Amino acid sequence: MNQRMEFDERKLADGCRDGDAAARKEFYDRYAARLMAVCLRYAGDRATAEDLLHDAFLKLFGAFDRFAYRGPGSLRAWMERVTVNVALEWLRTRNRLGCLPLDEGRALPDAAEPEPAEVSRIPREVLLRFVSELPEGYRAVFNLYCIEGYSHRDIARMLGINEKSSSSQLFRARGLLARKIREYLESN
């Protein structure tokens, strides 16, 4: 099965590179839902995420000549990285990544981070909604650090902010999410 998947990914990438309409349709059908989830994480609302998804596929189809197949998973990693970059560019062009006021004089409501077992009781859709409700700067840093695995140095470079801003926005994002999770657990 793994060899077939590898062959299918390579064949699919080659077909997309060559402009094969059937390969492009298969690529879209196979990966649109996964890339939509990436777009939703950054956009915060479905309509914007759909626009970002459209832009991401245009970018992907135009960039297949620069894709190099490196084994199973390389196509997925490449297309997700391109999609994240499309979302970040959207945020940058709309000046949505400037440092948010941190209300230094006011602390976040004290909410201890929930245990993994507690979080596992919350439906995935609810957790994604909580992330989508974060302020845009917090959401971008949270996604890049916690989901994409970038360092604060990389995030600062990508977003045009300093490392301390990245770190503080992550701290505040986690605090807001912890509070939302605690409230949800108490009421459900």
Query: Which pLDDT value is given to residue 101?
Result: 45
Q: Are residues 33 and 69 in the same domain?
A: yes
Which CATH number belongs to the domain containing residue 122 in this structure? 1.10.10.10
Q: Are residues 32 and 87 in the same domain?
A: yes
Amino acid at 120: S
Distance CA 96, CA 130 (A): 19
- pTM value is 0.76
Is residue 4 predicted with pLDDT exceeding 50? no
**Is 32 inside any structural domain?**
yes
Q: Are residues 17 and 81 in the same domain?
A: yes
Is residue 7 predicted with pLDDT exceeding 60? no
Boundaries of domain holding 55: 2-93
CA dihedral sign, ordered 44, 45, 47, 53: positive
**Is 162 inside any structural domain?**
yes
> Tens of pLDDT along 61-92?
999 999 998 988 899 999 999 999 999 999 88
**Is 8 inside any structural domain?**
yes
Distance CA 17, CA 60 (A): 10
Looking at residues 34-55, what average pLDDT do you find?
93
Q: Are residues 10 and 87 in the same domain?
A: yes
Q: Are residues 8 and 81 in the same domain?
A: yes
> Tens of pLDDT along 89-139?
998 887 655 544 444 444 555 567 788 888 888 998 898 889 989 998 899
Distance CA 149, CA 77 (A): 12
List the one residue out of 42, 35, 39 whose CA is nearest residue 137: 42
Q: Are residues 12 and 86 in the same domain?
A: yes
Q: What is the DSSP secondary structure assignment for residue 76, as one 8-state letter?
A: H
Task: Please state, in angstroms and as integers, the Cα–Cα distance from residue 102 to each residue in 38, 91, 106, 131, following that order.
Answer: 26, 19, 8, 18
